[in-house]
Structure 1
Amino acid sequence: MDRVRELASKKAAVIFTKSSCYMCHSITQLFYELGASPAVHELDKDAYGREMEWALRSMGCNPSVPAVFIGGKFVGSSKDVISLHVDGSLKQMLMAAKAIWF
């Protein structure tokens, strides 16, 4: 859990993913399209990936990926991020965290 929190707080936008997850790719692309450059951590390519996946599940992320953090705070998974994007909140959150500037 400490490793997840440490990585999540190092950059304004952080996404924990798996390389084979199409929703992970879609959420990452959404961030790029909004002008953000998130830190992307692929759990299946990290030596501590399995432990981090369990930590994400214990934080309430089910499925465990994609897990999105903005400004060091857990935002949720793909359905949460899409909902925030649809209502305009995602862009505002990214701006508040200084992940994008407009």
Structure 2
Amino acid sequence: MDKVKRCASEQGVVIFSKSSCCLCYTVTILFRDLGVQPRVYEIDRDPECREIEKALVRLGCNAPVPAVFIGGQLVGSTNEVMSLHLSGSLIPMIRPYQAQSSAI
């Protein structure tokens, strides 16, 4: 769980993903379209994949991937991210990270 928390706080927007997951890809593209370059951890390429999945579920993610963290805090998976976006609540959350990514 320490690895997940450490990785989740390394950058403003962090997505734990699997390379074959279409929902992970969709969430990543959403953030990029909104001007944020998230840090994407492909957990299926990590030898500790199973432990990371378990840690994400213990932290409160309904599905292990995609697991989205903003500002080091778990936002959730696809449903939570899309609900925030449709309600207009996602943009204020990511605004500080849009400025960072445009300077990159």
TM-score, length-normalised on structure 2?
0.92
Match for residue 64 of structure 1?
Answer: 64
Q: 2:64 is paired with a residue of what secondary structure? A: coil
1:99 aligns with 2:97: yes
Deviations, residues 15-48 of structure 1 (Å, cap 9, x unaligned): 0001111000000000000000000001101122
Identity %: 51
Aligned counterparts, 1:4-23, within 5 A: 4-23=4-23
Residue 26 of structure 1: aligned partner: 26
Q: Which runs of 5+ in 1 are unaligned?
A: none
Higher helix share: 2
Segments of structure 2 that go 5 or more residues without pairing to the other structure are 100-104
What TM-score results when the alignment is normalised by the length of structure 1? 0.94
**Corresponding residue for 1:41?**
41
Cα root mean square deviation, aligned: 1.2
For 2:97, the aligned partner's letter is: A
Paired residue secondary structure (2:15): strand
User: Aligned residue pairs: how many?
Assistant: 100
